Structure 1
Amino acid sequence: MSETNFTADCSQCFGLCCTALSFERSNQFGHDKLGGEPCQYLQRDFRCRIHAQREALGYGGCEAFDCLGAGQRASAAFAGLNWQRDTGIARRLYARFSQLLLLQEMRQALETAATLDISPAQHAQRRELLARLSQEADGASRDVTDTALAVLGDGKSFLRSLAATLAD
């Protein structure tokens, strides 16, 4: 697995996990937050005011979350746009971040599948899917794309087929 592809770089992100995503008050999150609303602890420089104390203050969910690099990819694509003042751009950014998160999760699953005892044809299909996923995740698109939706669907089908194969 290529660790570089899945490492979140918060210094290159707009704090998207703290803004785009929602959470409910629980033992993992200390307050309710709607998607698209910045966390009350997110500072103007997109850093967390309670980062060192997250778990102690009841934000273990923040500590456990990993965007797998989706945040910096989305932030780079929208770097030149004023998403903080334009709600239309912000919605596009949050939607693309969500799609990139799914792409990164699928990439990670398919990288992990390299260790499975599957046929050479299945490995070839896995590599082809990875190439398509990489093209989508590493591209500079600012919008949710139909091609990303298609490769995510193909990836899910492939993983289901592996589950059936491995169960035999």
Structure 2
Amino acid sequence: MGETTADRTGLRGDCGNCFGLCCVALPFARSADFAIDKPAGRPCPNLDEDHRCGIHARLRQSGFTGCTVYDCFGAGQKVSQVTFGGRDPRTAPPGDARRMSEVFPVVRQLHELLWYLTEALGLAAARPLHGELRSSLAKTEELTRLTPDELAALDVPAHRQTVNVLLLRTSELVRAGVRGRGKERRGADLVGARLRGADLRGANLRGACLIAADLTGADLRGADLIGADLRDTDLTDADLTGAFFLTEPQLNAARGSAATRLPESVARPAHWTARL
């Protein structure tokens, strides 16, 4: 497929340069993913004074699996160090602290788009669109550097729609070159589906719901997985070589093995091989 690994260093969470914003800004609902209820804007009780998680090493065992599958795509350090210039919300005026919690989810959405756009620029098949992709990348990065008030007022859905059109065109170009191109399964309800060993090469699985689906040994080479819900999806021994628009949060929510083949752009989740 001619994919090159693009530099996404700034699009990976750096907790050391963040004020624990995901543990403050986001709400939790008591469920299988979270052991407690927590409203948006209130610090998680597990957040220590140094803005680090006090139970990070045992989140899954403590009932906070939802935290282990979350990724801010680098938005945390951007808001902490750029948008608010390194001002600690615990010592900043209350208005600043509230605005930081409001702005963080906005920048997180923009950084997720930056992740996809950067990946698209590393796909050789999408070369005809590289000019438009670079322009969109620059525009999105520019938006992440708006003032707090400007970010709070930003129409993110409208910008996402504009970017999505470009990503759809990218997907068509990339999947067109996959031999045995798979079926159109965009947004499909595949909850619990038995797809063991299925040939899904070049499939469009954008937004597909694959919760608890059995994809053991499935061939997902060259598949578009943007927005696919992979919670508890069994990817044991599956081949995702060349699959694109796949994120680490998606993989962290799934199950897999040491034999699962992954694109170079993502890391193998530690819990796939660790004994819990």
TM-score, shorter chain, exceeding 0.5: yes
Q: Give CA deviations for 1:58-107 in whole Å, capped at 9, x if unaligned.
A: 11111111111100111113245464363322221112211110111001
Contact 1:133 1:148 in 2 (8 A): no
Q: Higher mean Cα deviation, 27-36 or 155-164?
A: 155-164
Bigger helix fraction: 1
Higher relative contact order (CA 8 A, sep 6+): 1
Q: Give CA deviations for 1:10-60 in whole Å, capped at 9, x if unaligned.
A: 011110000000111111111111100100101121111111111111111
Is 1:157 the counterpart of 2:165? The answer is: yes
Q: Higher mean Cα deviation, 144-153 or 32-41?
A: 144-153
Superposition deviation, residue 141 in structure 1: 2.7
Question: Normalised by the size of structure 2, how large is the TM-score?
Answer: 0.53
| Alpha-carbon RMSD | 2.5
Contact 1:69 1:104 in 2 (8 A): yes
Question: Normalised by the size of structure 1, how large is the TM-score?
Answer: 0.84
Contact 2:19 2:80 in 1 (8 A): yes
Residues 130 and 112 from structure 1, CA distance in 2 versus in 1: closer, same or farther, beyond 3 angstroms? same
| Counterpart pick for 2:137 among 123, 130, 145 | 130
Contact 1:15 1:46 in 2 (8 A): yes
Q: Higher mean Cα deviation, 29-38 or 71-80?
A: 71-80
- Pairing 1:26-105 to 2, within 5 Å after superposition: 26-76=31-81, 77-79=83-85, 81=87, 83-84=89-90, 86-105=93-112
Percent identity, aligned pairs only? 34
**Which has the greater radius of gyration?**
2
Alignment partners' CA distance in 1, 2:166 and 2:146? 26
Superposition deviation, residue 110 in structure 1: 1.2
Alignment partners' CA distance in 1, 2:68 and 2:75? 16
Amino acid at match of 2:147: S
Alignment partners' CA distance in 2, 1:75 and 1:166? 36
Residues 53 and 167 from structure 1, CA distance in 2 versus in 1: closer, same or farther, beyond 3 angstroms? closer
Superposition deviation, residue 146 in structure 1: 5.8
Alignment partners' CA distance in 1, 2:124 and 2:17? 34
Structure 2, unpaired ranges of 5+ = 1-5, 177-276
The runs of at least 4 aligned residues of structure 1 exceeding 3 Å deviation read: 79-87, 145-153, 160-168
Structure 1, unpaired ranges of 5+ = none
Amino acid at match of 2:114: R
| Counterpart pick for 1:111 among 105, 118, 131 | 118
Residues 80 and 52 from structure 1, CA distance in 2 versus in 1: closer, same or farther, beyond 3 angstroms? closer
Amino acid at match of 1:141: T
